[in-house]
Structure 1
Amino acid sequence: MSQKTRRSFLKTSVLACALATGFTLPGLAIAEDKLGWPEKEELKFGFIKLTDMAPIAIAYEKGFFEDEGLYVTIEAQANWKVLLDGVIDGRLDGAHMLAGQPIAATMGYGTKANIVTPFSMDLNGNGITVSNKIWEQMKVNIPKQDDGKPVHPIKADALKPVVEKYNAEGKPFNMGMVFPVSTHNYELRYWLAAGGIHPGFYAPHKGDTSGQIDADAFLSVTPPPQMPATLEAGTIYGYCVGEPWNQQAVFKGIGVPVVTDYEIWKNNPEKVFGLSEEFTQKYPNTTVRLTRALIRAAMWLDENNNANRPEAVKILSQSNYVGADYDVIANSMTGTFEYEKGDKREVPDFNVFFRYNATYPYYSDAVWYMTQMRRWGQIAEDKPDEWYFDMAKKVYRPDIYERAAKSLIAEGMAKADEFPNFATEDGFRPPQKHFIDDIVYNGQKPNAYIDTFPIGLKSGDVL
């Protein structure tokens, strides 16, 4: 009997037994009336070696996928483009994605494809690191605490004189980010621009996708695991990346993380779980069930004040997942973050997987990424506010999330107060104030928000 046949036999037997006796089992059988069996049981998911892929690893290791009748293979991908292409061509059924990837694909920026997300994977989790040489030049511009350590958050104002010096000497100031539509690109640009450093424009309508037009600092793509080595080689002077690759620079003694994305935008949305729209239409039960498994994994990661994080770190340190040393991953995953070597500070929300409604796919999160695409020229022309809302609703799927969450609540596997109030939720967070430049973001007014920035394209601007 094949593995697939055995699963089918087991599924039929369990259901027959449950129906005959009135007995229900957690997860799969108990929700049968409402959700139905998964149409596709054997799935392959992709990820990049970053700690925020944790919900996928935990859903696998803790048996949450199998509880839903899903038999999942998890496979690391070489880079974000390979990962996206795998979802588009069907080699992968779903993947850990940059929040900007489904949006950009659906818009047709780069590869055109309808990609959706029913699940936001985490909040925060990134940092900006500079080389030791740049840090020595920066820190003279940073005020000190009574103990002699730098005052945080460190703004790019401290970097601006350094960049100006390099430019005056005819040396390009090169920095790395992981992908043109990555959160890291937009966070690095946001931080630089807030300090008066222009990170450059894109002009795709003119065939220029370098993102370096009018730039003071030149940003280019480097895959996350290669960031420390590229910094050490001197090819770049700094980078923005997710963990554990900022802490790796500290452990190797080659660089200093100067700011986290929590300090740039408190509780910012980070990765999402991406699927092709075709997959969700063809396999609706499978889509809801995998979302249930991911929600349970996120809950496990944050429950009891992060009590499970040491176990999660042990899992992630395996070579088939992130593959970095336990201590490197634990430095941020367990609620601390080390800046300059020996300067370890409490940052309990550096990685958030469930609390603060981290897993809910808010339309306003999608809109923010599009405002930054427009600000830097990836969206070349003005769009009305409604365009932003319509695009967000094509990509972000709170309807799928709501069905998954409500079924978990109905089964007693989650509590209603752990989720948004689905009866009143409109998909837009209240105006958010905690940005490093003190500019307030209101997702209901994207064009007004874009026009508030001193650096960046404004209404009517076309390069």
Structure 2
Amino acid sequence: MSWIKPVKFVAKKLALSIAISATVISFAQAEKLGYPEKEELKFGFIKLTDMAPIAIAYENGYFEDEGLYVTIEAQANWKVLLNGLIDGTLDGAHMLAGQPIAATMGFGTKAHIITPFSMDLNGNAITVSNEIWKQMKPNIPKQADGWPVHPIKADALKPVVESYKAQGKPFNLGMVFPVSTHNYELRYWLAAGDIHPGFYAPHKGDTSGHIDGDAILSVTPPPQMPSTLEAGTIYGYSVGEPWNQQAVFKGIGVPVVTDYEIWKNNPEKVFGLTAEFAEKYPNTTIRLTRALIRAAMWLDEKDNANRPAAVKILSQSNYVGADYEVIANSMTGTFEYEKGDKRDVPDFNVFFRHNATYPYYSDAIWYLTQMRRWGQISEAKSDEWYKDLAKKVYRPDIYQQAAQSLIDEKLADAKDFPDFATEKGFRAPQTHFIDDLVYDGNTPNAYIDSFKIGLKKDDKI
């Protein structure tokens, strides 16, 4: 077990035990919000830069401001993290947005998990090996300066995949978890380029995701992606930062497309809790959400002015543990594709602006449409089914209580949040996809039926 700053933790607890006035919760604030029912908490995370709100809430003292004494511990992989949350080893966790949805639905492990806080937008990319890049490059038009035109579509990869297929060689790609954004983004990008990423058939006991696939997508933990690529086990991968930029620094691969280019301002990670925890400890839940909102605000304020300080924190071994330069390559508003091709992408990582922290029902429904598209949901469901499940998992009611209390205390500005009086939890139809399709969370079945590749609403495998 890796305890973060145990001396500080013990000292604060001692101060609390000596006198309640030694805590940083004011009496007026405590009376309005209620004291936290559970003060000592343990949160899990995976070593990715988008865990930043948890690290910043800890390092900047926002958890302590709420009377919460938090231990933060890196987890080996997403499955270990999920199991820890379910069995109570963890009180909360940095999670893939698809994990609470899939668990509540019963895909894999069955457990009712909720999220009151969306951790970020964007932050992922798809990287291929140098050899695959060499084969793709002739299929990609160039700018006047000689660098490739972006976004690079999977059309450029299709002849390469077909060549491998003709030779009887599987085209292996890595993603981090079957219900990860990375899996769905990789599948989305491939399918938009007429490359079939394969179906799941859980009702037949087949959860490989390889049925009818032109490419073979398999799970690799994020920090292991570069070494697995270098070993030749996979030819490319979809992962969060800093593991795409690490491939550039090591000279072993080339990021070809970011998720910002696949789906502009897509929701990425969430902070997950069991429904039982939120019901048993409502004040604690609101308070930890307040701390995370403040951290997200700090990460984005003044046009990312705090990002260098955040990168320094994240580079510590107890957080992400990658070199400062590697993390800074994307966290400070740039992104490097082919070595030397460094471009401004100010919204590559978004933690607060664009209502990034608000848990929209429509975000959850998008994940469900992709689960249905690729067979993880085996049977047709009504539009209302999608909406009802989203409302079981995404909890804007908790978020609103936390945000409104920060506004009331003048720790946040109402203009930076949705209009809570009118917000219904559905984003306006989203148009910025690499295949130019439009997503409206109010009509999930129509969206599912709009794809050329994938199961339609009433299809079965």
Q: TM-score, normalised by structure 2?
A: 0.97
Structure 2 residue aligned with 1:295: 293
2:13/2:69 contact within 8 Å kept: no
CA distance in 2, matches of 1:280, 1:242: 28
- Displacement, 1:14? 5.4
2:128 maps to amino acid: V
Tell me what 2:435 maps to: 437
Q: Does 1:367 align with 2:376?
A: no
Among the aligned pairs, what percent are the same residue? 81
Q: Does 1:279 align with 2:277?
A: yes
Could you tell me which residue of structure 2 aligns to residue 216 of structure 1?
Answer: 214
Gaps spanning 5+ residues in structure 1: where? 16-24
State the SS of the aligned residue for 1:273: strand
1:129, 1:28 → 2: CA distance? 49
How far apart in 2 are the matches of 1:242 and 1:370? 21
Q: 1:281 to 1:28 in 2, by over 3 A?
A: farther
**Partners of 1:2 and 1:353 in 2: how far apart?**
31
Q: Which residue of 2 aligns with 1:116?
A: 114
Alpha-carbon contact 1:333-1:350 (below 8 Å) kept:
yes
CA change 1:306–1:29 in 2 (3 A) is: farther
1:9 to partner: Cα distance: 3.7
Pairs aligned (count): 452
Q: 1:249 to 1:2 in 2, by over 3 A?
A: closer
**Structure-1 residue corresponding to 2:384:** 386
Contact persistence 1:47–1:75 (CA under 8 A): yes
Measure, in 2, the Cα distance between the counterparts of 1:180 and 1:64.
Answer: 33
Question: Match of 1:249?
Answer: 247
- Contact 2:35 / 2:284 at 8 angstroms: preserved in 1? yes
Query: 1:446 is matched with which residue?
Result: 444
Contact 1:128-1:241 at 8 Å conserved across structures = yes
Q: Contact 1:371 / 1:446 at 8 angstroms: preserved in 2?
A: yes
Structure 1 position 55 matched with structure 2 position 64: no
Q: Which residue in the other structure is 2:125 paired with?
A: 127
1:169 to 164, 167, 170: 167
SS across alignment from 2:338: coil
Matched with 2:144 is 146
For 2:16, the aligned partner's letter is R
Distance across 2 between alignment mates of 1:433 and 1:10: 55
Contact 1:28 1:67 in 2 (8 A): no
Aligned-partner residue type, residue 101 of structure 1: Q
Q: Summarize deviations over 1:160-213 as a string: whole Å, max 9, x none.
A: 000000000000000000000000000000000000000000000000000000
Distance 1:9 1:156 in 2: 62
The residue that corresponds to 2:191 in the other structure is: 193
User: Which amino acid is the alignment partner of residue 446 of structure 2?
Assistant: A
Q: Deviations over 1:228-271 (max 9, x none)?
A: 00000000000000000000000000000000000000000000
Q: How far apart are the structure 2 equivalents of 1:377 and 1:60?
A: 39
Give the residue type in structure 1 aligned to 2:19: L
Matched, 1:340 2:338: yes
Q: Give, in whole Å, the separation in 2 of the partners of 1:447 and 1:218.
A: 27
Give, in angstroms, the shift of residue 459 of structure 1: 1.9
Q: 1:311 aligns with which of 309, 312, 315?
A: 309
Q: CA RMSD in A?
A: 1.2
Task: Give the ranges of 4+ consecutive aligned residues of structure 1 lying more than 6 Å apart after TM superposition.
Answer: none
TM-score, scaled relative to structure 1: 0.96
Contact 1:30 1:411 in 2 (8 A): no
